[in-house]
Amino acid sequence: MKDITKVAESLVDIWNYAEYLLQNNLLSEYGFQKRLIEAVYVNSENTYQHILLSTYQKNLYVVPNHLTEQWGSDFLRLYPGANILVATKKDFEPANRKRFCSRIATGDYDAVIIGHTQFEKIPLSRERQIAMLEDQIADITFSIEEAAHQAGQNYTIKQLEKTKKSLQARMKKLNDQTRKDDVVTFEQLGVDRLFVDESHSFKNLFLYTKMRNVAGISQTDAQKSSDMFMKCRYMDELTGGRGITFATGTPVSNSMTELYTIMRYLQYDTLMRMGMGHFDSWAATFGETVTAIELSPEGTGYRAKTRFARFFNLPELISIFKEAADIQTSDMLNLPVPEAEFINEVLKPSEEQQEMVSAFSERAEEVRASLVNPTVDNMLKITNDGRKCALDQRLLNELLPDAEKSKVNTCVENAFQVWDEGKADRTTQLIFCDLSTPKGDGTFNVYDDVRNKLVARGIPKEEIAFIHEYNTETKKADLFAKVRAGQVRILMGSTPKLGAGTNVQDRLIALHHLDCPWKPSDLERAPVKAS
């Protein structure tokens, strides 16, 4: 097989040769993903003005931390001849990080698979970070000047000034020459293709807006998201906007603004070309704020709330987004999904819980009236206390009695019934609980309480396991094998720890959810049997 660049005498030859390779399945002879041939041309007055040959030499796959090894094994199962490098926790310890990054830079790998947090530890060059921060500071300065000429924008100016100061602090840290960092930079890795799995993890990207008192517009700035954005901008420069792939089942997981965030990652140049580099311009074109009466967080009354909650000019927005998105819905995929019976247990509160809800309402009124310092009490703390109270009142006060019809006791009853009915087939169950963790110090927690009550009913203790007790990939693999074999019949864990990548469905017959997830995306993925 000759090299494409040698056999081609003209653009037409390149195009025809690429088509020949694709039609005859000969691309594999060039090795896995190394000779992906693209011939892009502009025909103006019968004159070829531009030729782009793209050959991806090194592919970097950024996946959830706990799925790196699973990705590696599945990769080799699909492509046995591929030369891949899979990162482990040990590889990114401070003593080993530089050596591992050097292996990526110097090795000839078809795929490099690393975790989300590991990806963040590979920095861009200091010069590039400073240049991008300077651009962001310039944008904010311009927005501040604009807001200063408009009446009633004091709050907006304060918020923008706060963001500007944080960026300047990051700039100062980067300019500090006393701390010399000799790690391998992202540019030196030689990566020319970036694939990000579960990309919604990077949704909290910085956002500048003059909209006030509008819910659904998050202005939180996660460091990992800013880092991802900078690396995406570098990849766009390197590949002409063709080197990034994001994969997610929930591109909009919590707020409408997340669609704009995804477009900034993947379609930055398109947004700038259309004059939508700032969120307010995009929102004015495609978004609409809606004011509606809704239940207050404390659950004792109603209030008017304005949210960025509706799209308009939807066909145009879809058309732009589809330039970068390949959307597959569940009906299009038609995956084999087991039939499920959904049971929603509705329980009455105890007397103690009713008193607590009244106290939450009083606390919320004080917070809303600014009568209490936010460091002492705030709405987030009240909401979290309310969720704990709903799960089990002893999470707030261990001295309170164990309510007979609590969520925990109802879940124990349901789990024991399923366990007893499945003795012959050794069926298994999963119990999800996000508001408590096993402590092992004698203090109250839901995990130990559930296990102790199940053991008291006659279930052997060795058949009940907590995912928290298996903190390495090897231990997790052994645990999952025991669940698939029916040796462990009840497995408990939180949604992050026991969610994606837990392949134990061989004998699985029931799932129990003790608390409601925070995000709509988690509700969409919710499962089969709830308690």
Domain spanning 335-348+405-531, CATH class: alpha beta
> What is the rounded distance in angstroms from the CA atom of residue 183 to the CA atom of residue 181?
6
Q: Where are the alpha helices (DSSP H) in 274-406?
A: 279-286, 314-321, 330-333, 351-368, 379-391
Span of 26-35, 134-143, 272-281, 448-457 with lowest mean pLDDT: 26-35
More confident residue, 9 or 468: 468
Backbone phi, then psi, for 381, in 5-degree steps?
A: -65, -40
> What is the rounded distance in angstroms from the CA atom of residue 437 to the CA atom of residue 468?
8
Span of 72-86, 92-106, 420-434 with lowest mean pLDDT: 92-106
Cβ–Cβ < 8 Å for 495, 521: no
Span of 138-152, 258-272, 330-344, 440-454 with lowest mean pLDDT: 138-152
Cβ–Cβ < 8 Å for 493, 468: yes
> What does the pLDDT average to over 416-436?
92
For residue 335, what pLDDT band results from cuts at 50, 70 and 90?
confident
Q: What is the pLDDT of residue 256?
A: 77
Show me where the domains of the chain are located: 4-53, 59-120, 126-180, 335-348+405-531, 351-402
Strands across the sheet containing 490-493: 464-466, 490-493, 428-432, 508-513
> What does the pLDDT average to over 102-119?
91
Span of 26-30, 47-51, 280-284, 428-432 with lowest mean pLDDT: 47-51
Q: What is the pLDDT of residue 216?
A: 65
Where on the phi/psi map is residue 275: left (φ > 0), alpha (ψ -120 to 50), or beta?
Answer: left
Span of 29-43, 107-121, 329-343, 369-383 with lowest mean pLDDT: 29-43
Handedness of CA 170, 174, 178, 182 (dihedral sign): positive
More confident residue, 339 or 82: 82
Is 455's pLDDT higher than 60?
yes
For residue 13, what pLDDT band results from cuts at 50, 70 and 90?
low
Span of 114-118, 304-308, 416-420, 477-481 with lowest mean pLDDT: 304-308
Gyration radius (Cα) of the chain, Å: 27
> What is the rounded distance in angstroms from the CA atom of residue 300 to the CA atom of residue 207?
33
For residue 182, what pLDDT band results from cuts at 50, 70 and 90?
low
Summarised one tens digit per residue, pLDDT across range 353-372 is: 999 988 998 898 888 888 98
With a pLDDT cut of 70, the percent of the chain lying above it is: 81
For residue 523, what pLDDT band results from cuts at 50, 70 and 90?
low
Q: What is the pLDDT of residue 54?
A: 42
The answer for residues whose C-beta is within 8 angstroms of residue 35's C-beta and 6 or more apart is 4, 27, 55
Q: What is the pLDDT of residue 23?
A: 61
Span of 262-266, 303-307, 309-313, 415-419 with lowest mean pLDDT: 303-307
432 CB-contact burial (10 Å; exposed 0-12 / middle 13-18 / buried 19+): buried
More confident residue, 108 or 335: 108
3 state SS for 23-70: HCCCHHHHCCCCCCCCEEEEEECCEEEEEEECCCCCEEEEECHHHHHH
Q: Which of 126-130, 136-140, 479-483 has the highest mean pLDDT?
A: 479-483
Is 265's pLDDT higher than 90?
yes
For residue 40, what pLDDT band results from cuts at 50, 70 and 90?
very low
